[in-house]
Structure formats: structure tokens, C-alpha cells
A and B are shown apart, each in its own frame.
Chain A
Amino acid sequence: MASFKSTKIPIYPKLGEKVTPDTLYWKNYKAPVQIKEFGAVTSIDFSSLAPHNYAVTASTRIHIYGPFSTEPVKTFTRFKDTAYSGKFRSDGQLLVAGCEDSMVRLFDVSGKVALRVFKGHTKGVHVTDFTSDCYHILTGSDDYTCRLWDIPNSTELTSYKEHTDYIRCGITSKLNRDIFITGSYDHTLRMFDARVEKSVMTMDHSQPVESVLLYPSEGLLVSAGGRYVKVWDLLKGGQPLVSLKNHHKTVTCLSLSSNGQRLLSASLDRHVKIYNTTNYKVVHNFDYAASILSLALAPDDESIVVGMTNGVLSIKHRKSPEEKREMAGKQRMQPVYRIFVKGRNYVPKKDDFLVSKPVKSHLAKYDKQLKKFNISKALDTALEPEITVAVMKELDRRGTLKNALAGRDEQNLSQLLNFLIGNVVDPRFTPVLVTATEMILDIYQAVVGQSSVVDRQLVRLQELVEREVDYQQDLLEVLGMLDTLFAASLPRKEVPCPGSKTVL
């Protein structure tokens, strides 16, 4: 004797983005923490020293936040004007920042007053960085110059005046203490060697350069400017490798994920895009509320910090493994009573006699009703659209869909109509629901006009269907146009006539 076979709920293919390992990785962040700063957040820098505090430069202040604090652990306020580019030294002890008032200040992370103030630039300094030997500072300014400063003597070592517009980004090599690269609004990127007088390499980005980034190997350089992100091969003398155009507004910031496998770019179009560095395809995408000016990733991608033009700092922390497990645990069912009484961790002893109990198969509510041939109730007990549609299909197969739909009062009918309005144009359900809709219209033809609720819903349904028909027609037209375009663009190939090959 066969047992009752439950209704099959078809699995519909998920439309939209595919689930890749990347999606899973980048989705595994908690809801963002938002902190309001005093002005647009222009720079974020993580300390390389645990616990990886980060410096946030906004307006005339630099705030230092702990990894999980929402209040700044430290604040530097000794700026006369807008501060720029607060950067930690690689040992995490010193912090340098530029300022609109052309002065460069060096702070001790634990102190309050600037240890050194470097004067020499004539305009605002937007770029500061430490060299890899920790004794020099690189600065770039709106006066078109970039300079190197000595920390112990607080003197200017060299000054390069090769750019012809504002210098808005720059980076020092982590492997060589003498090499640094700057990007400017004159569309060029220049690599300098402190040991020579002139730039050693120039690359044309052809857009005002907003951000530069060196790969850990320092063989590749990434620059962002305008809507483009470009990758340059430094070992081949600055040959352009790829040009990416995935944003529709200026790209403002670049960052690498901790393992160097993914490149992140932030833009004024409020998106952060994540690229695979092997094929430079976008693998993931974050949306933010406002245009993004700065972006930084904590070591090990523990958190993503994004600063926006409206002064909001958004911090996303990675979910810890315990939390993930907790989420999974919540879905688990409560243990059944008999296990609960025995203790959930009860392990049978050696001499225990195990009585295997046949597993009782539980039928879903709608299946129970279907088994008893209660067709109307079965339809009423099916809740989710997928299940409802599956039950409708099953009833249709049994030839009783009409009976199940008939004999409903106003409330019941309006529920049904609501469901139809919500789902009839869903391409996954349309084939089944169209039949159901036709049946409902047939059955309840006589009562049209008796209930205002039902009438309103019927009118809505009609509009919906009409709109859908229009859409379909438009789409077909577009398809036809595309077909002709494709046909015209295909190269004409001499097709051998099928008749000539056939040998009779």
C-alpha cells in the first residue's frame, strides 16, 4: 500500500544575482553603524598596530576611533582650517595630516599638540604620507609641488615641481624608501625617486587623478580619476594594463582587500564596487546613501569604513562565526518532548536496548486537507505564493480547481483576488494563475456589482492585466528591433545550398 504523496512544490530558479563565494563573503557583514562627523569625510586610515584604530579626517578635526567604538577615542583639533589626509606611520606611533592652511602637522598618537609643523607649501596640502623608512614625510599640495621632509630635523629635503595642477593623491612605496608616486589634476601620474632630481616615470590617466594605489608587490599601480579606474604595469615602464569604467560618476577612492585578491573602488555615484584582480570583473557591489569620498578596509577585512560627503561615517563589521552559528541555531526546531525529558545530550549506553521507532512522516497542512479531499480548505491553508500556486496546480490536475474556487464569501474572495493581483504577472506563476483567474471570473460573473471591495479589486486586476499586455507588446517590439539589428550586424557567410550537397 502506497502512502500519500505530498504535493510537489516546484523550485523556481532565483532571478537576479547569482550566489557566488564573493557574494557570500561580502554579504557577511552586519548592519552598518553610522557616525555623524562635522563635515565631509575626506580620508580614513587604519593603524597597522593592533587593535587597528583608524583616523578619520573630517572638517577641521581628526578623530581616532577604536575598532568597535562609536565615540572617538582621541581627537586632534589643532587645525586652523580644513584638515586633510590624516595618516598613521607604519609603527602606529605618529600621525601626519595636511591642512588647507598649507601647514603639515605631525602628531604623537598619544599626545595632543603637534610635535612638528612643516611649513613651506604655499597652498593647502591634500596629500601626506610617511616613507617606508619612517623618517621622511611626503606631501603634495595645491601649489603644484610635492616635497619630502625630514622628521628629526623638521627640514625640507627636496621639492618637485613637475605637476601643472593640484596634487590630490600620492603614495609612497612600502619596499623602497625613496620611491613615491603622485597623481594630479593635470591628468598625470608621476613616479619620483628621491635620489634623482626629476620624475622617473609619467603616466597619462587622461582624467584628473583622484586616488592612487600600489599593489603589495608594487609591480602594478591603480589610479582612479573621472569615471575610470586604470591599472598600470610599473615593471613595463608604466604601460596601461586595464581601464575599468564601472561607475557613472567620479571615482574618489581605491582600496585593496586584505589578501590582495579584490580591489574596491568608491565613487560619487554612491557605490562601492569590488573587482576580482585576476580578470577585473565586478564581483560585488555595495550601495550607500550619499556620495562616497573615502573608503578603508580593516586588516583581514574585519570592517569596511566609508566616509561620505554628508559627513556620515558608515562602519560595517564582519559577522563573527559565533553569530553565524547563532543564526543557524535559531532556525533549528525545538527538541521533541521525549528527548527533552531524557536530556538532549543523552547518549545510549552500551547495554541499552535501542528500540527504533518508525519515523512518522508529517504532512503539511494543505496536504492533510488534500488527502481528505477538502479542496477549498487546502487552498485556504496554503500560504506562500509558491505553495499556493503548487496547490492550485494540484487541484487543477485533480479537476477540482473550479470547485475549490467557488462558493466563497466577500472576504474570502477578496483575499483570493488580492493574491491574484499580487502574483498573476509573476512569470513563474502566470500559467497557473491565468487559468485560476479565468475560472474566478466565470464563477463570480453573476455577483459583480454587489460588493464594492470586490469590484474595486476586479478593476485593479483588469488594469494590471492590460498594463502587462502592453509591456509584453513593447518587449516583443524591442525584440524584433534587436533581431533586425543583429541580423544586419552579422557578417554574411556564404552558406552552401543544402540542395547541392544532397546526392540523390
Chain B
Amino acid sequence: MVEHAEIRMVHRGGSKINFREPVITNDSRFLLCAAGESVNVYSTSTEEYVHDLQGHTDLVTGVVLNPSNHLQVYSCSADGTVRLWDFTDAILIKTFIIGYPIYSIYVSEKHGGVVFLVVPMADYKSSELFQLVAVHLPHSGDQEVEARELSAVLCDVSPHAGAASFGREGEYIASVKGLQLEVFFFKKQKSYRFSLKSGMKKGAKNAFTCVSCHPKEDCIATGHEDGKIRMWRNFNQKKEYTYSTLHWHHGAVNTLCFTPEGTNLLSGGIESVLVHWHYTQENQKDFLPRLGAAITHIAVSPDGSLFSTSHSDNKITIIQSCVKVSAVIQGLVKGDGVWTNLIIDPRSKALVLNGKPGHLQFYSLHRDKQLYNLEIVQQEYIHEEGLDQFEVVNAAFDARGNWLATVEERRKKGAELEITLKLWAYDELTQSFVLNTTVTAPHEDQITAMFFSPSPETTMLVTTSLDGHFKAWLLADHSDANEGFWACDFVGGYHLLKPGCCSFSADGSLLSVGFQEVVTVWSPASWELLTTLSQPPGAIRDLCFGRLSCSKYLLGASTKNQLCCWNLLTCSLEWSTPMDVSLLQADPLSENMAAFCSQSGSSDLFVFKPSEPRPLYSQKALCTGKVQHAVFAPRDQMLESCEERTQWLNRSQLYFFTQHMDLLTFSTKTEEDRLLASSKQLMVDDSVAVTPFYLLLGKHRGQQLEKQEALTNPMAERTQLPQGSIAIKELLHTPAHVLPSASFLCAMFVRSLLISSSSAREEKEHEEGEREKEEEDSEGEADPRLGESAAWGPPEEFGAPALTKAQERELRKVKTFDHSWLSSLLDC
């Protein structure tokens, strides 16, 4: 097989933003967090993504503000570099090459030019033992600097982010690991160790989980696995140290953080409650409950006005003055696993999969943003470890997106399975799904597959279960009630075999159910068993009907390394190949099929048409481990690639989940070019907080600026440019009671954004910036200008001293700008 350079595998869908503690900038305007191989910058006020700092080649493991320059951040990564960034402009200033994978980074104001890194012990190649090292960052003008002068501070530290903390004015550093707290004093160059008994006998778990030092006083707070917080004092000697204990958490304390003034201590754990301890009165505490998921990190802005909590469901919450949640930054929720298939919502074209516990998340692939969470289980979630919770294990949409079926189950240890089938109707009014029918215990055992019939006449759902039956559910029409409910219509089985998969043909006229080794084909209209197909040995794992021109083919993947293709017209085997197909997926918009094969620890992908013997595309060693789920997502714009190898990506895009819960997709060169072009357009000035409105206006202004630079005569332009912004300012600053009604203004504004067809035609040869200018004109002036341009036409054609393009443009601008569009608005 030939490697296809033009098809590239790319990561999609929010990398983990809760991996490390986020950083809030000094002016509290931005929040920086490590996200996969880059550092994302978000606006704290609007929760909008601003830009990212790209450059690392491996997981970013820590972000800290440069203590000597509050506009710069250090980031460290597992690729063995520390990079210094200007985060406002997303510029990489310097790269320090350390040479070892770095697990976390600490800095202190007192130690200027030194960063403290957690790296593996040099002599232990296996990543079992870690040490804290101080690195002097050399002053040098070069972009890339080697900084290999490491001086060990502490040996045997924990690689976790919250396991070390600088004390008052950077005089000492405290680190915890296991049952030991170690404090290193820089002045004395001496460390003290304090150990706790394991306490296992008394039912206590004393192991340390995190540490935080008071910024003003000599006090260290440590969190423990059994939910206790210990406040250590007097620790500058070995003997007479003291500690007091605070206890509220019932699970482990995940994170601790002192506020900058040291008046409060914040703690969080699995309970998803932010606990707010008063430092002087230790018995007093405030709570901020119901934050949604277990708290993994807490960060406080340098002025103490904003808190941010990272949560286990890949979410960052920004909390204002410790009482009000002001913003939520939500990434793609990656829970413990994805049990549902990846599905595409036919309405919103969003990817639907398990989200928060008991929820389905709708994730927009094109915007890389979570749209919303649909609550399925509708039960109070108890934040406690070791509980068997209800989980959504299956979901399916009908062809038009009017119905959603979900299966939730809860398996108790040693007790019977609780299954609930729920059917949700799409409500146009609220634009969301509303529960229509709940079926408790639809089957006696696990439901293995669930599909809606694609035929437009009937809404039918088929579920197959390990109890040996498959059931068809129909919407029982009730003429008097406005909404019907779902009821079981047919129960089918085949020789008490357990059905493992099912598939509808593209028109819904055939249903195939795989009963272990036998594939049965049924007619859903009469529930007649039409035929059986089998190709032993090996149970059928996946079934798929061909689409469009290949609809006469039925494909089945069996456990014993076989991919079979049956011709349904002759009921005979068309072809079969020895392949260990773990996942078979059909593209709904073309005949193409994707088969993922797992071979010796890695996965291969084959894209083929059932009618053709040769695969369209194949990729060996796609990723390590088995591909769990995959889906073809239709594109909103078709690509016009003629290349044979990339043609299969024209209509839809293949997304898949690897074993490590990474969402990957394939991207082609043409697509990347297009993306690059669109991202350039969206360059944003960061002097204003990013809002959708700003994106609209900011685009204008950015392009005006660009154009200004491009112009040959900048002087004339400079006098005019402010006018445009003044016009907007005037609109925004005019008292509201003077302005005409908003609906009037809105229509005007929207119309002004449209390019009138005639002017668009006229300006095809012009630059894009030109067009932007005209959009700002009120449409009232469009007509005279058109007349003018027509009047200008002849001299040019007659070969009279032609105006240069720039001059012509300027002339026009003078014309359009002396009556500002707003003044015309205000007149009427």
C-alpha cells in the first residue's frame, strides 16, 4: 500500500483542558490552560476561545506566569522544552531545551531566572522516580537556548501538579509524596521531612494528595486521601512541628489553594463543592455546591477576584468573588468511556456521545464546541466513588432527527440489570428533545444494538438484546391525544441464539439481525423471516447494508477474522476476505464503507466499495490499540477533490475514537488550505473582549487596518479611518431614546452588510478590503454611487488619462464618507 501524503490524520475535538492547573493573567482578562500540545487562551469574561500558543510537540504539562514579566508565560511539556511566550500576541519568545520530559513547573518571584521542574531521575530510565530540579535559564539572544545546567533540589517527588508549592516569599518549597511532607529551605539549603503513619488500621487514609503554602505566613496546608486537610506550622525544625486538622470532604482532597492574601483556603474534591475555609477562623467555612463534576484544580487570579476550578468533565468554571459562577469553558467531555456509538444528529449535524454522567453531549464538529448536554437519566447524581451509576449505553436518531432513543443501564454487582429505554421527541418550540415514552426493562438482558428504520413512512425502532430476542417498537398513534407513545410491536428470535447486531437496509425494507453465526434477513412490513445466511465459523460482530448502487450487498464482519459480502438478490456469498474487522461503518452519502481492523496492537483502516475488489484507500497502523467507535459526518460544504485517493472524503468526513479517547479525523490538503484561509480572516484584535458581536465588527476593523498598510498613500487614509469607527461609536454612544427603534436599525444594519448584486459584480476585480468598505455605507447611498460609477465608465474606456486603481478607490471613499451612513439614519 502506498502512503498517501495528501491525507493526514488530525486531532479533533477539545483536548483535555483540565489536565493542569489553569493560569489567570494579572489583569484577570485571560485564562491560559494547557490543552494537549498547545496552550489555549480564553477570555475570562466571555468564555470565548481567543487563540492558542502552538509550538510544543508533546503534551503540555504546565503553564506558569513569568514572575518578572506579567505579560509572559512559561510552559513546559513532555517534549523536554520550556517555552516562554507573549500570550497577548501568541508569540513564542524563547525555547529552552532541557532534554528530559518535564512533568510540572514551579516558579517563584524570589528566584528570578530560575525555574523549578519535575523531571525523571537521570539514572532511572523507567519513569518511576522523579526529582525536582532548579534550572538557571541562560540569558541569550537566541530563539532556542540549551539549558542543561540542572541542580537537584529534592529527590523522589510526585509528578503531579499540586504536589509541590513555594512558601512565603519563596523561602522554602514544600513537596508531598505518599505519606511524607518534605520542606526545603533555600537559605539553609536543608530539608526537613515529616511523616505520617499510614493509619490504615483506623480506617483513615493519611496519604498526601496535594499541598499549598500560605503566601504570607509560615503555614502549609496539605490535603489527604481521606478528605482531611492538615495545617502545618512551626515546621522549621524537626521536632516541635504542629498541625491542626480540618475535615469536611468525604472523598480525597484533590486540590488546595490559598488566596493571594492568605485570608482564605480553597479546597475541592469529588463532591464537586468548592469549600472556602477562613484562615483565621478555621471552623468557619462557606460552600459553593453543585459545580457539576469533581474538582481537579483550583486557580486564583493574582488579585484574588477570580477563581477558576477545573473539573473532571473537561470543564473550567470561572467564579467571581467566590460566590457566583460567571463563565464555564466546556471542552469535549471525555468521561470514563464512550458506550454509545458515535452518532450524528441529523438536525444540528453535531456529534452525539456520552457526556457528563447520565447525559448525552451534542458537540459541534465544525466549531469544535459543545452545543449542549441533554440529560437522559434524570436522577440526582451522587458524587461518590464506587457507586454503580446509571449510564447511557446506547442512543439512536431517526432519519429526520425527530426522535431520539436512548438506553440507560445500571449493573449492580451480583444483582440484576436495570435497563430503561427512553424515547425523546424533538420539540420545535424549545429546540430540544422532550421525553415521550419510558420503557422500564424493555429486555431482560443487555441491549446490544438499536436502530431506527430509515424508511420515511414508519417510525420504527429495533432493539436487539442478549436475552435472545429482538424487539420492534412502533409509535402508537393516538388521534385524540396530540402525541402518541411507543409500544412494542414485534418480538422476534431465532433458535434462542443471542442477537449481537442488526442493520436496516437503506430504504428500510429489509432488516438483518446477526444471531451469532447466522445472519437472518426479515421484512419489517410483515415480520417474515425471508432468508438466513451464514458463514461459519465465527459469530457475526457487525452488519452493514450497502448504500445507493451497492444496496444489494450485505456485509458482515465475524469474530473469526472474516469479512463477508453477500449478494441479497442471489442470497449467495459474493466475496469474503480474511480480515479481523473490529468496526464496520457505512457512509450514508456514498457507497463507501470503512473497515477498521486491529492487527498486532494497532489498527488499520480500509475504505472500499462493496462492489469493487480493490480498496479506495488504506492506511496501515493508524493508531495503537483498537478503534472503538467511528462515524461518517457529512460535510456542510462538499469538497471538489478529483484525486482518486481523496475522493471518499469529498462528501463526508470520517471521525473515530481511539482507545485513549482521542477523537481523530482525516483531513486533505485542499481542506486544510481552506481552513487556513478562513482562520486568517478571523484574526482578532485583542483589545476588546471577544464576543460574537465583536467578531463581526472586529473583522471589519482588522481588514481596514490591513488595507491601510497596503495603501500607497497612507496620509489621506489616516484622516478617514477614524470616521468609520466614530460612526459606530456614535451609534453605540447615542442615548437610546434618541435612536430609532432597534428593529428599524437592525434591518438597516443587516442590509448594509449585504453586498448588493450589482456592486459585487462591478468589483470582482477589486481587492476584498474594498468590499468591506462599502458594506458600511447605508444602502441609501448605493444608488447614486452606482450612477456615478457608470458615469465614470466611459472615460476609462476611451483611454482618457486613466485613474490608477488606488486613486479611484480614494475618490469613491471621499464620496461615501462625507455622508456617514449613520447621519442619514439619524435624519430619518
Which residue numbers of A lie inside 8 Å of B, CB to CB?
1-8, 10, 370-371, 394, 396-399, 431, 435, 498, 501-504
CA distance A432 to B95 in the complex (A): 62
A6 CB contacts on chain B under 8 angstroms: 380
Choose one: A1, A5, A431, A502; the contact of B534 (CB below 8 Å).
A502
**Other than the known A370-B380, A498-B518, A503-B533, what 4 A-B pairs have Cβ atoms closer than 8 Å?**
A1-B325, A2-B292, A502-B532, A503-B570
Task: Decide: A503 and B571 in contact? CB cutoff 8 A.
Answer: yes
Which of B380, B384, B572 counts the most chain A CB atoms within 10 A? B380
Offer 17 A-B interface pairs, CB within 8 angstroms, sorted by A: A1-B289, A1-B290, A1-B325, A2-B290, A5-B378, A6-B380, A8-B379, A397-B382, A397-B387, A397-B389, A397-B390, A399-B386, A431-B416, A502-B532, A503-B533, A503-B570, A503-B571
B807 located at the interface, meaning its Cβ lies under 8 Å from any Cβ of chain A in the complex: no
B384 CB contacts on chain A under 8 angstroms: 398-399
- Sort A-B residue pairs by CB-CB distance and give the 3 closest, nearest first: A1-B290, A5-B380, A503-B572
Task: Decide: A503 and B380 in contact? CB cutoff 8 A.
Answer: no
Once A and B bind, how many residue pairs between them come within 8 Å at the CB atom?
Answer: 53
Chain B residues 759 to 779 lying within 8 A of chain A, measured CB to CB, are none
Interface of chain A, main secondary structure: loop
B270-292, CB under 8 A of A: which get 1 and which 0? 00000000000000000001111
CB distance from B227 to the nearest CB of A (A): 15
Choose one: B291, B387, B535, B571; the contact of A501 (CB below 8 Å).
B571
Known: A397-B387, A397-B410. A501 touches B382 (CB 8 A): no
Task: Decide: A504 and B571 in contact? CB cutoff 8 A.
Answer: no
Interface size on B, residues (CB 8 A): 30
Interface of chain B, main secondary structure: loop
CB distance from A370 to the nearest CB of B (A): 7
Choose one: B379, B415, B532; the contact of A435 (CB below 8 Å).
B415
A3 CB contacts on chain B under 8 angstroms: 290
CB distance from B487 to the nearest CB of A (A): 12
Which residue of chain B has its CB nearest to the CB of A367?
A: B380
B440 located at the interface, meaning its Cβ lies under 8 Å from any Cβ of chain A in the complex: yes
CA distance A396 to B418 in the complex (A): 12
CA distance A3 to B387 in the complex (A): 21
A8 CB contacts on chain B under 8 angstroms: 378-379
B432 located at the interface, meaning its Cβ lies under 8 Å from any Cβ of chain A in the complex: no
CA distance A265 to B325 in the complex (A): 71
B68 located at the interface, meaning its Cβ lies under 8 Å from any Cβ of chain A in the complex: no
B572 CB contacts on chain A under 8 angstroms: 503
Task: Decide: B532 and A501 in contact? CB cutoff 8 A.
Answer: yes
B475 located at the interface, meaning its Cβ lies under 8 Å from any Cβ of chain A in the complex: no
Known: A498-B532, A501-B571. A398 touches B387 (CB 8 A): yes
CB distance from B807 to the nearest CB of A (A): 60
A396 CB contacts on chain B under 8 angstroms: 412
B234 located at the interface, meaning its Cβ lies under 8 Å from any Cβ of chain A in the complex: no
B531 CB contacts on chain A under 8 angstroms: 501
CA distance A390 to B744 in the complex (A): 56
CA distance A7 to B378 in the complex (A): 9
Known: A503-B573, A504-B535. A10 touches B440 (CB 8 A): yes
Task: Decide: B379 and A397 in contact? CB cutoff 8 A.
Answer: yes
B388 CB contacts on chain A under 8 angstroms: 397, 399
Task: Decide: B573 and A504 in contact? CB cutoff 8 A.
Answer: yes
CA distance A1 to B292 in the complex (A): 7
CA distance A206 to B409 in the complex (A): 62
CA distance A496 to B295 in the complex (A): 63
A2 CB contacts on chain B under 8 angstroms: 290, 292
CB distance from B19 to the nearest CB of A (A): 24
Which residue numbers of B lie inside 8 Å of A, CB to CB?
289-292, 325, 378-380, 382, 384, 386-390, 410, 412, 415-416, 440, 518, 531-535, 570-573
Task: Decide: A1 and B291 in contact? CB cutoff 8 A.
Answer: yes
CB distance from A226 to the nearest CB of B (A): 41
CA distance A7 to B379 in the complex (A): 7
Which residue of chain A has its CB nearest to the CB of B378?
A: A5
Which residue of chain A has its CB nearest to the CB of B291?
A: A1
CA distance A267 to B571 in the complex (A): 63
A371 CB contacts on chain B under 8 angstroms: 380
CB distance from B309 to the nearest CB of A (A): 12
B534 CB contacts on chain A under 8 angstroms: 502
Choose one: B378, B380, B535; the contact of A4 (CB below 8 Å).
B380
CA distance A396 to B533 in the complex (A): 45
A503 CB contacts on chain B under 8 angstroms: 533, 570-573
CB distance from A323 to the nearest CB of B (A): 25
A501 CB contacts on chain B under 8 angstroms: 531-532, 571
A502 CB contacts on chain B under 8 angstroms: 532-534
Which residue of chain B has its CB nearest to the CB of A5?
A: B380
Which of A1, A4, A396 counts the most chain B CB atoms within 10 A? A1
CB distance from A448 to the nearest CB of B (A): 25
CA distance A504 to B291 in the complex (A): 59
CA distance A396 to B387 in the complex (A): 10
CA distance A2 to B388 in the complex (A): 21
Which residue of chain A has its CB nearest to the CB of B534?
A: A502
CA distance A398 to B379 in the complex (A): 11
CB distance from B532 to the nearest CB of A (A): 5
CB distance from A6 to the nearest CB of B (A): 8
CA distance A10 to B534 in the complex (A): 43
B386 CB contacts on chain A under 8 angstroms: 399
CB distance from B767 to the nearest CB of A (A): 50
CB distance from B492 to the nearest CB of A (A): 15
CB distance from B749 to the nearest CB of A (A): 31
CA distance A220 to B752 in the complex (A): 80
CB distance from B373 to the nearest CB of A (A): 10
B289 CB contacts on chain A under 8 angstroms: 1
CA distance A86 to B51 in the complex (A): 99
CA distance A501 to B378 in the complex (A): 48
Which residue of chain A has its CB nearest to the CB of B415?
A: A435
B415 CB contacts on chain A under 8 angstroms: 435
B410 CB contacts on chain A under 8 angstroms: 397
CB distance from A275 to the nearest CB of B (A): 24
CB distance from A406 to the nearest CB of B (A): 18
CB distance from B387 to the nearest CB of A (A): 5
CA distance A468 to B634 in the complex (A): 57
CB distance from B445 to the nearest CB of A (A): 15
A504 CB contacts on chain B under 8 angstroms: 535, 573
A399 CB contacts on chain B under 8 angstroms: 384, 386-388
Which residue of chain B has its CB nearest to the CB of A3?
A: B290
B570 CB contacts on chain A under 8 angstroms: 503
CB distance from A293 to the nearest CB of B (A): 40
CA distance A371 to B570 in the complex (A): 63
CB distance from B719 to the nearest CB of A (A): 50
Task: Decide: A5 and B573 in contact? CB cutoff 8 A.
Answer: no
CA distance A394 to B410 in the complex (A): 12
B325 CB contacts on chain A under 8 angstroms: 1
CA distance A399 to B415 in the complex (A): 13
CA distance A387 to B291 in the complex (A): 29
B290 CB contacts on chain A under 8 angstroms: 1-3
CA distance A6 to B415 in the complex (A): 25
CA distance A370 to B380 in the complex (A): 10
Which of A2, A6, A435 counts the most chain B CB atoms within 10 A? A2
CA distance A4 to B290 in the complex (A): 9
CA distance A397 to B409 in the complex (A): 12
CA distance A1 to B323 in the complex (A): 12
CA distance A5 to B390 in the complex (A): 14
CA distance A498 to B520 in the complex (A): 10
Which residue of chain A has its CB nearest to the CB of B519?
A: A502
CB distance from A209 to the nearest CB of B (A): 42
A5 CB contacts on chain B under 8 angstroms: 378-380
CB distance from B802 to the nearest CB of A (A): 67
Which residue of chain A has its CB nearest to the CB of B520?
A: A498
CB distance from B298 to the nearest CB of A (A): 17
CA distance A8 to B518 in the complex (A): 41
CA distance A2 to B440 in the complex (A): 25
CA distance A370 to B386 in the complex (A): 19
CB distance from B444 to the nearest CB of A (A): 12
CA distance A431 to B410 in the complex (A): 14
Which residue of chain B has its CB nearest to the CB of A371?
A: B380
